[in-house]
Every structure is written in C-alpha cells, then in structure tokens.
Amino acid sequence: MIKAAINYLSDPLYSFTLFIILFVLAMKRMDIVGTKKFGLALLIGVLAIFGWMVTDPVFFSVISLPDNIPIIILNGLVFWSTWYALYRGHQNDLRIAAGEQPIEGTPENREKVWAWPNLVYTELFCGILCTIFLIVWAIFFKAPLEEPANPTWAPNPAKAPWYFLGLQEMLVYFDPWMAGVVLPGFIIVGLIAIPFIDINPKGNGYYTFKERKFAIAGFLFGWLALWVYLIQVGTFLRGPNWTFYGPFEYWDFHKVVAENNVNLSEYFWIKMLNVGLPKNIFLREIVGIIFMGLYCVASVPFITKKWGYKYLPRMGAIRYYLMVFLLLGMALLPLKMYLRWFFTLKYIVAMPEFELNL
C-alpha cells in the first residue's frame, strides 16, 4: 500500500504540486529550515527513506544504472549546499536582528590573504582530489557505452544526457522550438541580466535570507522546481515510450498511455461553439492570442499593484519591467504544465504556419 501510494503521488501533477507546497513552506518558515536540527532531521529522514526504497528490486534497477549513479550524488550535493546556504543566511539574519555584524564581517573572518599561494594551493589540492576520485570511479564503474549506432534501431526510452533531461521533459508541454531554443534562451539571458537588474547591495559578501527574500526565493524556485525537478522526472520516472512510471513500477514496454491533447482553438471553435475551425489563421487563434496578451500585458499592472510597487521606485522602470517580463516567462512553464494536466491542452496558440506554437 505504501509503495502504491508513492507511485500514485509521484505522478508529475501531484509530485510537482507537493514540491511547490513544500518549497513555499520552507521559504516562509526559515526559522525552522535554517537550523541544524532541521538539517540533521532531514538528512536522517532522507537516508532512512532512501535506504528502504533501495530494497525494492525495481527501484534499485533504475537508480543503479551507470548513468544514474552520478545524478544521485549530484542530488545530494545540490540539496545539501542549498540547505547550508539557507542555514548560514538564517544565522546572519539572527545576528543582524540582534545588532551584530554578519559572521563574514567579524574581525577573524575579515582577514585577507594573497591569492598566491593560499588560493592556488587550495585549488591544486581540490584538483588532485577530484582526479583521484575520477580514477577510482573509472576503475570500479564501467563507462555506460553501448554498441555502435544503428540507424534501424533506437533505444527505448531514448534519453538525452542528464543535463538535457530537463529540456527533454519540457518537450512534453511545449513545441520543440519553445522548449529547445526560446526557454533556454530566456534562462541564459535571465541569468546574465541578474547583476544588472538586481542592484540591491544587501547580501553582498555575506549570507542572508531575510534581506533578500524575493531574490533568493525566485532564483531557488527556477532552479529547484523548474530545472532540478524536471531532471529527476526525466531520469527516474520516464520509462519506455517516454511514459510515466512510479519509482516501484516495473518498466513495461507494452504500457501505452493514450492522450488526446487539444489546442485551445479547437476547444473554443469545435467543442464550445460546435463549428469548424476558421480558415483565417489569426481568427482561428484569436482566443489564444487574447489569452497570451492578457497574460503578458494585463497581468503587469496587477502584479505591480499587488506587490511590485515596493520594487518599482528602487529599481527604476526599465529594470523593474524587465524583471517582471522574465518572471512571466519563467511562470509560463508551470502554467503550461497545469493546463496540460487538467485540460489536456496542447497549445494555447497554435500557428505551425509561422513556426509559432505556445
């Protein structure tokens, strides 16, 4: 029963929703998350649950694949480093609230040393340790190489390298042009633009959370919920035919889930009005165009009135509206995911004539 419940809750609709709920609670209760007790309890809990799950032969067969073992290690490093940064930030917030300096500002932590030899030696030793680790890894674990490429046969499931599995999962919800070019472009441009948009000097040189709640929460949501989570789904929960499988569900190659995804224009003209699709492209997609127009334009005043009024005077109009534009682009991914799950919606705007499918 427990395994069946985990398989059921691992469905992207439920697991993603649960991930968002836990993320929001973590951001709101930093007084609990940013403590050593929470970190220790979380570590023990995760190790205990993972140890129990490993005893299942199906789960073990998936995570023990040569390609998946490094991802499990990376998962542990990502979540540990994220918690540690939040912990350090919470400790500094308590010190600042008490009228003290951040830990990084105390005299014993402000001592400066030369890059040579201190930094160079540290980097050299880290490089040597990483080299030893990779050599040992290569000795005990064989490289996951397969037979030479055969144009008459394709692996099932055909998966990209782990660092592209987030993009491959996006292909379930977006047009290849959007998932492979536009959204990654948004990510790259957004990351490049952060130092120019976020000019708040607080938090420079020391850990903090309370002084930079919005910036930290926004970045972590995009990183953990919209990238790391998608990699987990694509790696461990997508099996043959790119069908979803629970952690304890056997990968049956004969399992086929039929999905009848429908464009918004088809919902409006065929299902609601019971007429055929107009021949004019723009008339056919008018509902989706209006929807996207409201999302991109009409939502900006609402966001500004709700909470953006605090940032507009400090950031200036150009920085503020650029930030809102990037946030709307980031929020488009979870919005499209939920529209697919609840309404089997394929595209909001479907214009294959112009290679434009949203």
Across residues 62-77, what is the average pLDDT? 87
In this prediction, residues 138-158 reach a mean pLDDT of 80
| pLDDT of 26 strictly over 90 | yes
Q: What is the pLDDT of residue 67?
A: 81
39 vs 197, higher pLDDT: 39
Q: What is the mean pLDDT of residues 317-345?
A: 90
Q: Is 122's pLDDT higher than 80?
A: yes
Average pLDDT over residues 71-78: 90
Query: pLDDT value at position 14?
Result: 94
Q: According to the model, what pLDDT value does residue 44 have?
A: 95
User: pLDDT averaged over the chain?
Assistant: 89
CA distance 157 to 155: 6
Burial category of 326 from C-beta neighbours within 10 Å (exposed 0-12, middle 13-18, buried 19 and up): buried
What pLDDT, on the 0 to 100 scale, is given for residue 204?
84
**Rounded Cα–Cα distance for residues 280 and 263 (Å):** 16
Report the pLDDT value the prediction gives residue 289, as an integer from 0 to 100: 93
- Give the start-end residues of each E strand in the chain: 350-351, 356-357
Two tokens, residue 224: 């953990």
What is the model's pLDDT at position 114?
83
**DSSP structure string for 21-66:** HHHHHHHH-HHHHTSHHHHHHHHHHHHHHHHHHHTSHHHHHHHTST
Record the pTM.
Answer: 0.89
Long-range Cβ contacts of 287-294 (<8 Å, 24+ apart): 288/263, 288/264, 288/347, 288/348, 288/349, 288/350, 288/358, 289/349, 291/264, 291/348, 291/349, 292/348, 292/349, 292/358
pLDDT for 187 equals: 83
Distance (Å, whole) CA 80 – CA 86: 10
pLDDT at 194: 82
Q: What is the pLDDT of residue 177?
A: 86
Residue given tokens 């938090």 in the structure block: 203
- DSSP code at position 111: -
Per the model's pLDDT, the better-predicted residue between 66 and 32 turns out to be 32
> pLDDT per residue over 202-257, tens digit each?
888 889 999 889 889 989 999 999 899 999 999 999 988 888 999 999 988 888 77
Judge whether residue 129 has pLDDT over 80. yes
For 219-251, the DSSP string reads HHIIIIIIIIHHHHIIIIIB-GGG-B--TTS--
Angle separating helix axes 2-9 and 12-28, nearest 10 degrees: 80
Which has more pLDDT, 355 or 225?
A: 225
Spatial CA neighbour of 217 closest among 18, 25, 17, 13:
25
Spatial distance between the Cα atoms of 97 and 93, rounded to a whole number of angstroms: 6
End-to-end, the C-alpha distance of the chain in Å comes to 40
Q: Considering the chain, what percentage of its residues have pLDDT values greater than 90?
A: 45
Instruction: Write down the pLDDT at residue 317.
Output: 87
